[in-house]
Structure 1
Amino acid sequence: MCISAAENWASIMALRALQGFFECAVTPGFLFITGAWYKSKEHADRSLFWQSSEGFFSIVCNLMLYGIARYVEGHGGLAAWRCISLFLGGLTLVGAFASFFILGTPHEVRWLSKEEKRMATARTISNNVGQDTTGKEWKWDQVIEAFKDPQLYFSFANTFLSNIPNGAITTFSSLMYESFGFNSWQSMLYGCPRNAVYVGVFLLVALYTRKVRNQRLWVMLLSAILAFIGILTMSLLPNTPEHKWTKYGMFILTVVFSLSIFLGWSLIPSNVAGKTKNSVISSMTLISYCAGNMAGAQVFQTKDAPRYLPGTIACAACFGVQFVVILLWRFYYMWENRRRDRAAAASGLSMEEQERIGRELGEADVTDMKNPHFRYAM
């Protein structure tokens, strides 16, 4: 809301920096809450469900912002961007108020009885990561282990590579629409169908991952392939009226790349045991998210207008490299699970004993690498 009163570049940048500082807890917080409430097999569809809200509210907000900007243009007064800042800031305050009373882990929320809190916690014991009250103290050995774990580097690389295109496409989506031949007002409206596809795809994939287990990384691979096809086709076609709608359709196709970001994030609460270790890998993933978006915002240069060919080809290259990273990630989990299965078979323990010991180690805040009865979701 304070941005609406900014008078110069320095004040806007200072306020934007504060926004980033406070906003950085949102995504790790959602991942932690998802892990605390749901079983590993439910993490993918729950994460996609809450993330689909971004597309839905983008449609709602785009229409509202379009109306505000149109009204201000015709009636004068405050500049449109100042009115929009006040409006979005007000929505944020409403959301914050609701979140304060609703969100939290099972032991934190106020709307469950003690018995219901025990029931909610009992649901997730089979995840082998303990309860939301497990591992409150910071453990440096888990920090060291996190940086030795290939999961950190797979998650970091996947997030960084997918967010270079995200930073480019999100920041410069209006420029992309204008390069197809739409004016600035049309660009605000023609973003709505893309967001509608975003919501629909996320909900369909959420239903699919609920029905069929261990498909997350395969879906991520498919999303990288489709995004690669969409953005490369869009960049190679000339900006002529006869290709306008084809380029628009290819741009809509690129929306699926977001699946690789959020399905990758959903693997963290499923596969990283140890509260300190989980915090480290979640934080490093968020750092790569921010770094990718920062880098992505630099790939579209004014000198490359109107086709922005170098920027779109750079994004396509990122999707290509990301495909390899995801494939290696999947093979790592397959190899590790098979190795643990062989060790379990050689131990002579029954399945029931393995599950019991795995839960006990999870309750003791033992990490996934040190818990031989932990299995990775894929």
Structure 2
Amino acid sequence: MSFPSPPSRSDSSSLDEKKDPSMVGHGLADEALTKEKDVAEDTADASTQYTEEQYKALVRRFDRYLLPIMWICYGVQQADKTGLSTQVRIKEDTHLHGQQYSWLSTIFYISYLCCEFPSNWVMQRVNIGRTLSCLMFVWGVIVLCTAFAENWAHLMVLRTLQGAAECTISPAFLLIVGAFYTRREHTLRALIWGTANAGFGIITDLCMYFIAKHAQEVGGLAPWKAISFFLGGLTIVLSFFAFFLLGTPREVLWLTADQKRMAAARVASNKTGSDRLKRYWNSSQALSVFRDPQTIFFFVVNFVNNLPNGGTTSFGNLVYVSFGFTNLEVLVKGNIPRSAFSIVWYLFVGWVNLKWTGLRFYIMMASVVPSLVGMLATALLPDDPSIRWTKWGMYFMTVTGNVSGPLMWTMVPSNVAGRTKKTVMSSIMFVAYCVGNAIGAQIFRAADAPRYVPAIVACGILYFVQFVLMFLWRSYYVWENRRRDKAAEAAGISPEERERLGTLNGEQDMTDVDNVHFRYAL
């Protein structure tokens, strides 16, 4: 790796297209190049023009506007997506049999996969908040329509359309986190809205419990239809809030021009670009993703991570039933305690990562160990109703492994630079997410019911594979950072100058590979 001679701050020619690799191949006109250079220098200089108190006040404003709406939207999306596992009596009322129930999860993720790249392309070309809110409205209508499904064919069509509409929310939220927050803040903020999976799961389970109890006692609307009306209507209402509140700092209406400049100055140190200027599709960046070694880790580790997730998401309730609990008991004795602990665990992990840097991979590896032990114990303990609470405890241990997925996702805003490259990398990561979940749902075969021992053993083995892959991924980043440090020292570039040049390159939309002053977060 070679480095250019370090330019002085006053040497504007150092940022010209001929000398700065970040400009090569962009095909920008001279006027656009000049504007980009000026904005990059202004953003880098602005970081010293605001006080720490001003920055703290701005972050509090971000949190007030973003985190509540992101939490609710993500929670509703998760409840919509996994609603089949909580919708009591849906299998009986729609006459599902064999692998048909599994296919309702698989087709969702196949559709999610197919629409991932097109939807992310549209999001970059148009507007993150506008695109997401429109799709939220669409999937809200689809969830409402689920209440009118009468058979497997109806459900398959609706789940296909739902997967196509829901595929944008996670990539959009990661881009928003990267645009508003510093690297140190990424994990906590992403895990805060990530707790919505569990938090809204508790709300959904409680609703299902009381709806089902009422239906049992006095009859009336089937519980799965009632929850479809509830979730679908709530999603439609939320889409209007998302329209006005979500987006990058450049897109939202609730920041002044000076606050948008301050927001860009805060995140400039990430060296991944602040999104202060609108970035159009860059084909060279898109192709560079497939030459980047970290792409292999983003795809493979996420794929392996979501194989057990796809099965347990759809069949977790049925596992509890195999211990000797009723369907209603599962909601209050199985799902709610798991969800409550998950919230506490996510927030604890986020707080630890905010206080101490470089721990993300260590936490991911540590979190899958209890899941490995819990899965194997659940499968191998005898089929004895007298030890159902022992099995409950073993299966409860698997909750810790859920945090590894969201932690991996935060690597995109932290370790991928270049607006188009981020878009493509997040799409690849969520393609792996879809493939893993789609195949994972098929691991649980109807022939293995009610205990699903082979599937649960397979999930345990996959947690071990994750541990090894995460170790290799971290080792690659450590090696690459050391290689760049040695090259910079050999070139005689001071740490302060590396920081300045890295920031300027990031603001000019240079990728993490091209920006030799970029260092990967651990």
Q: Name the CA distance, whole Å, in 2 between partners of 1:318 and 1:2.
A: 36
Gaps of 5+ in 1: none
Q: How does 1:141-156 map to 2 (within 5 A)?
A: 141-156=284-299
Q: Partner letter of residue 31 of structure 1?
A: L
Q: Name the CA distance, whole Å, in 1 between partners of 2:517 and 2:270.
A: 11
Q: 277, 285, 297: which is aligned to 2:429?
A: 285
**2:267 equivalent in structure 1:** 124
Q: 332, 342, 346: which is aligned to 2:490?
A: 346
**Shift of residue 242, structure 1, vs aligned partner:** 3.3
**1:274 equivalent in structure 2:** 418
**1:56 equivalent in structure 2:** 199
**1:33 equivalent in structure 2:** 176
Contact 2:264 2:276 in 1 (8 A): no
Q: Partner letter of residue 242 of structure 1?
A: S
Q: Name the CA distance, whole Å, in 2 between partners of 1:329 and 1:50.
A: 25
1:95 aligns with 2:234: no
Q: Name the CA distance, whole Å, in 2 between partners of 1:102 and 1:250.
A: 42
Q: How does 1:78-117 map to 2 (within 5 A)?
A: 78-117=221-260
TM-superposition CA deviations, 1:149-185 (whole Å, max 9, x none) = 1221111111111111111111001111011110111
Cα 1:338–1:134 shift into 2, 3 Å:
farther
Query: Which has the larger Rg?
Result: 2
**Shift of residue 54, structure 1, vs aligned partner:** 1.5
Q: Name the CA distance, whole Å, in 2 between partners of 1:294 and 1:63.
A: 27
Contact 1:4 1:82 in 2 (8 A): yes
Q: How does 1:236-255 map to 2 (within 5 A)?
A: 236-255=380-399
Q: How does 1:178-257 map to 2 (within 5 A)?
A: 178-190=321-333, 191-257=335-401
**1:360 equivalent in structure 2:** 504
Q: Name the CA distance, whole Å, in 1 between partners of 2:253 and 2:281.
A: 26
TM-superposition CA deviations, 1:132-159 (whole Å, max 9, x none) = 2446221222122111112211111111
* Aligned CA-pair RMSD: 1.3
Contact 1:162 1:261 in 2 (8 A): yes
State the number of aligned residues. 378
Contact 2:416 2:512 in 1 (8 A): yes
Q: Partner letter of residue 125 of structure 1?
A: A
**1:43 equivalent in structure 2:** 186
**1:157 equivalent in structure 2:** 300
Q: Name the CA distance, whole Å, in 1 between partners of 2:290 and 2:187.
A: 24
**Shift of residue 289, structure 1, vs aligned partner:** 0.7
Cα 1:61–1:326 shift into 2, 3 Å:
same
**Shift of residue 94, structure 1, vs aligned partner:** 2.5
Q: Name the CA distance, whole Å, in 2 between partners of 1:8 and 1:53.
A: 30
Task: After superposing the two structures, state which structure 1 stretch, 91-100 or 40-49, moved more.
Answer: 91-100
Counterpart of 1:124 in 2: which secondary structure?
Answer: helix
Contact 1:174 1:184 in 2 (8 A): yes
Q: Partner letter of residue 64 of structure 1?
A: C
Task: After superposing the two structures, state which structure 1 stretch, 329-338 or 109-118, moved more.
Answer: 109-118
**Shift of residue 77, structure 1, vs aligned partner:** 3.1
Q: How does 1:299-378 map to 2 (within 5 A)?
A: 299-378=443-522
**2:160 equivalent in structure 1:** 17
Instruction: Give the TM-score of the pair, scaled to structure 1.
Output: 0.97
Runs of 4+, deviation exceeding 6 Å: none
Q: Name the CA distance, whole Å, in 2 between partners of 1:98 and 1:75.
A: 36
**Shift of residue 206, structure 1, vs aligned partner:** 0.6
Task: After superposing the two structures, state which structure 1 stretch, 323-332 or 233-242, moved more.
Answer: 233-242
**Shift of residue 334, structure 1, vs aligned partner:** 0.4
**2:113 equivalent in structure 1:** none
Contact 1:162 1:257 in 2 (8 A): no
1:174 aligns with 2:317: yes
Cα 1:244–1:80 shift into 2, 3 Å:
same
Instruction: Give the TM-score of the pair, scaled to structure 2.
Output: 0.71
1:68 aligns with 2:211: yes
